[in-house]
A and B are shown apart, each in its own frame.
Chain A
Amino acid sequence: MGVASLPTVDDAVALGLTAEEYALVCEKQGGPPNQVELAMYSLLWSEHCAYKHSKKLLRTLPTEGPHVVMGPGENAGAVDVGGGLACAFKVESHNHPSAVEPFQGAATGVGGILRDIFAIGARPIAVLDSLRFGEPEGQAGTRSRYLLDGAVSGIAHYGNSIGVPTVGGEVYFEAPYEHNCLVNAMALGLADRNALVRSAAAGPGNVLVLFGASTGRDGIGGASVLASAELGEADTGAGGDSDKRPTVQVGDPFEGKKLLECSLELLARGLLVSLQDLGAAGLTSSAAEMASKGGVGIEIDVERVPLREADMEPFEVMVSESQERMLCVVEPGKLERVLALCEKWEVEGAAIGAVTDTGLVRVTAAGEPVGEMPVRALVDDCPLYDLHPQKPARPIYPAPLPAPALAAQATPAQTLLALLSSPNIASRRPLFEQYDAIVQSRTVRRPEQADAAVLALPGGGALAVSIDGNGRRVAADPYRGAIESVLECAANLACAGAEPLGTTNNLNFGNPEKPHIAWQLTEAVRGLGEACRALQAPIVGGNVSLYNEGATGPIYPTPVIGMVGLLPDARRAGRLGFARAGEEIALVGPFAPSLVASELAKLRGEALPDGLPETDLEAVRQAQAAVREAVRSGALSSAHDVAEGGLAVALAECCLAGGLGAEVAVEADSAAEQSLFGEGPGGFLVSGEGGALAALGAPVRRLGTIGGDSLRIRVGEEPLIVASLTELARAHASLGELFS
């Protein structure tokens, strides 16, 4: 390549670098980079790979604790779950690809997070998903329904076909996600604690083997073009003829399944020095990160990479995001056995390069050098930016439109039915029925059986796992909203009887270069860190997805929290449904319901408030511990945390899940509406024998008794709600209509 054909600063800017960053690249390279080098820098220095706007903040999060086996920085984090086993887990986003092409975007999101799990030597045992779309109803909701349908089908396609159960998840519908949906996927894996592998390349002279699918032109520039820039109108328009579609990858779960089994068998036979999956930025990122972690150099010959299409340019080979590929380091004496095992699993394997001691990433084509970069410059020298947070002077989100389902003078019973049928609260059955939740024979609690999914462990214990986030409340108050999201996750675990071991998070935010978004991000991370510290649930890994803005503005700030916990006896895993007529119902915990930023406020079209009520973290933590212990001891027949829609909705959910009615009286110490539909952390609805409820080590308020075939709620002496189970069930099933 002659000097005349070197790319210019304009090319660098087109690839997402700033002019200053380009100048720094020139300095590190001792001259202008060529096409291969610039392509690689532009990806590794993208927000997606370098976390250049979030790294400083992320360093403030708690990452250590007694259970942590592997913290942030590896393909996934891992915690000790006893019996010599570790649970690896992580959540990741695939937002922009899903906004452009929901089926493949979501499918490859699942494929990518599963590769992260088996890259550290853990067998994937579960998937969960967290989804956000615009309002789904009516003509205006057409595109949101299309995105939801595509994303759910994509998750089902990949997860079901690869044989990993999808055991839980959440979905919310809010206008700010209309032009920028969120698709976050979380996966868990199990491994022998001592068999976890790291991704650091080691041993100059060792061979670099690429195995899995062949490399094509799909997904070129995904990390920089898609993941690190705002989406424009054309990307998500109903026409769908987007320029960015070729940057979305295509998933093949069958190839993924073979790759999974092949990788785990290679590791089990001790044939690998290290292993890394190929995700965003393809070979570029995998090779550079393996070299950086190992403090070594790497040499790759692009001519030896098995290609799907002829005559690909060297830079295309290096940046392709073709799915279902892994990169490993192998001692030369074991190469033959590695390639033979690849053949057994009908997975293509090729020696494409070597580990060196040069500290350089060197790319050649049939031996001719086509690019050479210091590993340190590529991976570590991307400038990190300070945020300039500033609380916005005026609200940045318009008030939601009032929901037609809620009449102006609705009675409490009508309000309850409107809430139950609202898209954010209605039963998720039409969605989760598309997922195989039971393959691998571990699923002790399926969706809608408990607040958290429960997965049996070999020794008789079990894992509980939940994924949560409430963007609207975080938008109202990024700091307290983030605390609430963590508490909600831990509350779900407590209702299953589990104690948190560790946390993963995906920070979905708008453009951090804007001061108000920087403020949301800073405040949310502060709340996240504080809550995880209080619960002793350190963050062992996660992901950041910024620039989530469409033509109409930023998404709600959405930290998605995934939490994994442990319960000693799987047989005593909690359930959410009322179990036995005649048993008593009680409300446990420091629950202080408020209509501020509630679902009811949203249905009424109220604008977001400036701030949420304060939460007593310690009191909530104690209530969670009390519920957890009571579930573990077998004293409770059911436990459910009070969340969206407040106490009345929680009661209806317990009735529906158990097929039993209830008669309760809510104390009238505040406005009836607030007691019935107000929200806030720290409330648990439990049932059991009266004596057992009285013995709970937390504030307990008896509400009433299980029985009958309707839900009857009095406030003080006044009967306010009488609704039959049939009526409740009909309202709760409203999401089905969106799919018919």
Chain B
Amino acid sequence: MKFGVLQFPGSCDEVDALQAARRVGEAELIWHGERDLGGADAIVVPGGFSYGDYLRAGAIARFAPAMESVIEFAREGGPVLGICNGFQVLCEARLLPGALLPNRNLRFTFRQVQLEVLSSGTFTRGCALGERLSIPAKHAWGRYYADDRTLAMMNESGQIVLRYAPGENFNGSLHDIAGVCNEAGNVFGLMPHPEHAVDQLIGGSTDGLKIFNSIKMTVEA
């Protein structure tokens, strides 16, 4: 199985995501100006500041040539994982419902957070329902917001995949939401960084690998 990891000029965590993906399969970077996804079975839109994000996080990246191909890939059912800035980009591209607002404390904040798995699917197949994952989060714009109707629908269709454990929601996300998927379940975005929880030596948790492994299980199923 092969992951394609997008690379924008302002990406920061693309190499981390590449290395994490390579722990479970093959992985290559895809330059933002390319339309060819290189035969990837799954796409990762990584963290960072795609084009500087001076306007609004992810607002410009959705127009990148590579993103046009990713949108098409997602519409055909291909698995797409958006991490942090990638989550913001997927929301801007309307592949995911809702939006990410500035953190409640208005500051970039880095913390190791505990997450709870609420829904089983493409990206959480390898986790038990209710399982706790220890994964770091680091962002300035991570407060998840969607209107009440959307939230109710998402709740009903199991689109709320991850939430911050009690006391862990530092950014002020509605309903403690940390990660959501689309209705079809093949596009998933989360603010915490699973690619930074793949090695016991670096960070003391390997819970993030479960997300990458779940994708692999789905692709190879």
A-side residues, CB < 8 A to B, are: 153, 156-157, 160-163, 252-255, 257-258, 261, 345-346, 432-444, 456, 570-571
Contact = CB atoms under 8 A, between A and B. Distances in A.
A444 B110 contact: no
A456 B201 contact: yes
A438 B201 contact: no
A345 B9 contact: yes
A236 B48 CA distance: 35
Contacts of B13: 163, 439
Contacts of A432: 110
Contacts of A157: 108
Contacts of B202: 438, 441-444, 456
B196 A438 contact: yes
B201 A161 contact: no
A156 B108 contact: yes
B66 to A, nearest CB: 15
B108 A440 contact: no
Complex A-B, nearest 7 residue pairs according to Cβ-Cβ distance, in ascending order: A254-B52, A163-B12, A441-B16, A161-B49, A436-B138, A254-B10, A156-B108
B49 A254 contact: yes
B203 A161 contact: no
Most chain B CB within 10 A, of A257, A436, A441, A571, is at A441
A106 to B, nearest CB: 14
| Most central of A153, A255, A439, A442 by chain B CB within 10 Å | A439
Interface string B1-41: 00000000111110110010000000000000000000000
B9 A441 contact: no
Given A439-B16, A571-B201, A160 B136 contact: no
A441 B199 contact: yes
A157 B107 CA distance: 10
Nearest to B138: A436
Interface string B196-211: 1001011100000000
B138 A162 contact: no
A437 B110 contact: yes
Nearest to A161: B49
Nearest to A443: B202
B111 interface: yes
Contacts of A161: 10, 12, 49, 52-53
A441 B52 contact: no
A563 to B, nearest CB: 22
A346 B109 CA distance: 30
B51 interface: yes
A254 B16 contact: no
30 contacts: A153-B107, A160-B108, A161-B49, A161-B53, A163-B48, A254-B10, A254-B51, A254-B54, A255-B52, A257-B10, A257-B49, A258-B9, A258-B10, A345-B9, A433-B109, A434-B107, A434-B110, A436-B12, A436-B108, A437-B110, A438-B136, A439-B12, A439-B47, A439-B138, A440-B16, A441-B15, A443-B203, A456-B201, A570-B201, A571-B201
B49 A441 contact: no
Nearest to B49: A161
A160 B195 CA distance: 17
Contact of A433 (B48, B52, B110, B201): B110
A160 B52 CA distance: 11
B201 A434 contact: no
Nearest to A447: B110
Contacts, number: 84
A452 to B, nearest CB: 16
Interface string B109-130: 1110000000000000000000
A456 B203 CA distance: 11
Nearest to A163: B12
Contacts of A435: 108, 110
Contacts of B53: 161, 254
Nearest to B198: A441
A85 to B, nearest CB: 17
Contacts of A444: 201-202
Nearest to B11: A163
A432 B52 CA distance: 22
Nearest to A258: B9
A327 B184 CA distance: 51
A574 to B, nearest CB: 14
A438 B203 contact: yes
B23 to A, nearest CB: 11
A417 to B, nearest CB: 25
A437 B112 CA distance: 11
Nearest to B52: A254
Contacts of B52: 161, 252-255
A441 B109 contact: no
B9 A346 contact: yes
Among A157, A261, A440, A442, max chain B CB count under 10 A is at A440
B12 A441 contact: no
Nearest to B111: A433
A440 B15 contact: yes
Nearest to B20: A441
Contact of B196 (A346, A434, A441, A570): A441
A434 B15 contact: no
A434 B9 contact: no
A571 B13 CA distance: 23
B136 A162 contact: no
A434 B15 CA distance: 22
Nearest to B54: A254
A436 B9 contact: no
Q: Name, among B9, B15, B193, B196, the residue most crowded by chain A CB atoms within 10 Å (CB to CB).
A: B9
A345 B9 CA distance: 7
Contacts of B10: 161, 254, 257-258
A466 B199 CA distance: 24
| Residue among A163, A252, A255, A456 having the largest count of chain B Cβ atoms under 10 Å | A163
Contacts of A442: 202
Contacts of B108: 156-157, 160, 434-436
A149 B201 CA distance: 32
Contacts of B195: 441
Contacts of A153: 107
A346 B8 CA distance: 11
B110 A438 contact: yes
A632 B153 CA distance: 55
Nearest to A149: B107
Contacts of A261: 9
Nearest to A262: B9
Interface in B162-221: 193, 195-196, 199, 201-203
A320 B53 CA distance: 26
Q: Which has the most chain A C-beta neighbours within 10 Å: B49, B51, B111? A: B49
Contacts of B199: 441
Contacts of A160: 12, 108, 138, 140
Contacts of B193: 438
Nearest to B7: A261
Given A261-B9, A438-B202, 17 more contacts: A156-B108, A162-B12, A253-B52, A254-B52, A254-B53, A255-B52, A434-B107, A438-B136, A438-B193, A438-B203, A439-B16, A440-B16, A441-B15, A441-B16, A441-B195, A444-B201, A571-B201
A441 B110 contact: no
A204 to B, nearest CB: 35
A440 B52 CA distance: 18
A359 B192 CA distance: 56
A125 to B, nearest CB: 12
A131 B202 CA distance: 27
B9 A257 contact: yes
A432 B109 CA distance: 9
B207 to A, nearest CB: 14
Contacts of A434: 107-110
A157 B54 CA distance: 11
A345 B199 CA distance: 32
